[in-house]
């Protein structure tokens, strides 16, 4: 089993731990003006969090790529999401945060620069990953913020376990093109796939559970190409600019 496969299958346990600690997480409270920062997959989490927080009525929430944080708006609290806590653009954005603005890091690495420099840290070390491709950290972060916002996500770990036990749809890995659609906060997750002549998979349920199917499909596609999913071409665990 590759690192990626192991991490995909550890998601139910990670989600359970995140739910248990969500209430105590030092995340923004209702009424604060918030910016959420990330790069790559963490940017998708940032965008999902921003939509979830505004939909829950907790106040203005903007999401930005780390390199594009505007100085034209003022915020009470800025949340930085980075699995490794070493992404150079995220650290630069943190350094440029105005004095008096509360900063919170969501990361899996307690010894990373991001964890040491932010005012508060939400440590998801139980969702730490060795694979270059992130799976459980991303989904666990989304579960965490949903629980913190007051959503009842207690059934998600069991639903994830059911999805992991389900075989992939026959012939799916033989396809060459895939279309992933979502709406609202789940725009980064595959809910449905629809093209002319396509095989449509629409099981319903929670978008994060559907994401697990996409993760497992990626592993199967790598296996068919005799590629190592833990070492994808042109990707690294953290983007550090010289």
pLDDT tens, 218-227? 888 888 788 8
- Residues 233 and 97: their CA atoms lie apart, in Å, by 34
How confident is the model over 58-86, as a mean pLDDT? 93
Residue ranges of domains in the chain, CATH in brackets? 3-148 (3.40.50.10490), 156-224 (no CATH)
How confident is the model over 144-167, as a mean pLDDT? 96
72-111 CB burial, b ≥16 within 10 A, e <16 = eeebbbbbbbbbbbbbbbbbebbeebeeeebbbbbbbbee
What is the value of pTM for the model shown?
Answer: 0.84
The pLDDT tens digits of the residues spanning 159-187 come to 999 999 988 877 777 877 776 667 787 76
pLDDT on residue 203: 65
CA distances from 56 to 9, 36, 70, 241 (A): 30, 16, 24, 36
Query: In this structure, what token pair is assigned to residue 177?
Result: 């093109």
How does the average pLDDT of the chain come out, rounded? 88
Query: In this structure, what token pair is assigned to residue 116?
Result: 């040491």
Whether the pLDDT of residue 200 is over 60: the answer is: no
How many Cβ atoms sit within 10 Å of the Cβ of residue 113? Answer: 20
Element housing 107 (H / E): strand 102-107
pLDDT on residue 193: 33
Whether the pLDDT of residue 230 is over 80: the answer is: yes
Nearest to 42 by CA among 126, 144, 194, 192: 144
Query: In this structure, what token pair is assigned to residue 46?
Result: 């940032």
């Amino acid at each position: 089993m590759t690192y990626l496969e192991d991490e995909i299958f550890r998601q139910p346990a990670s989600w359970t731990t995140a739910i248990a600690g969500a209430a105590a997480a030092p995340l923004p409270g209702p009424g604060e003006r918030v910016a959420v920062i990330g790069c790559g997959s963490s940017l998708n989490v940032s965008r999902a969090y921003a939509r979830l927080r505004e939909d829950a009525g907790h106040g203005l929430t903007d999401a930005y790529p780390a390199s594009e944080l505007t100085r034209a708006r003022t915020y009470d609290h800025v949340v930085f999401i980075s699995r490794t806590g070493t992404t150079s653009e995220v650290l630069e954005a943190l350094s440029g945060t105005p004095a008096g603005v509360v900063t919170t890091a969501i990361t899996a690495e307690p010894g990373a620069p991001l964890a040491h420099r932010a005012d508060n840290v939400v440590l998801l070390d139980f969702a730490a990953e060795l694979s270059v491709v992130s799976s459980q950290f991303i989904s666990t972060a989304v579960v965490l913020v949903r629980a913190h916002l007051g959503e009842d996500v207690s059934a998600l770990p069991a639903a994830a376990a059911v999805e992991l036990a389900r075989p992939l749809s026959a012939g799916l890995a033989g396809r060459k093109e895939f279309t992933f659609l979502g709406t609202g906060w789940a725009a980064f997750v595959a809910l449905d796939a629809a093209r002319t002549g396509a095989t449509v998979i629409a099981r319903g349920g929670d978008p994060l559970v559907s994401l697990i199917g996409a993760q497992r499909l990626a592993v199967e596609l790598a296996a068919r190409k005799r590629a190592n999913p833990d070492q994808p071409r042109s990707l690294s665990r953290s983007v550090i600019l010289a």
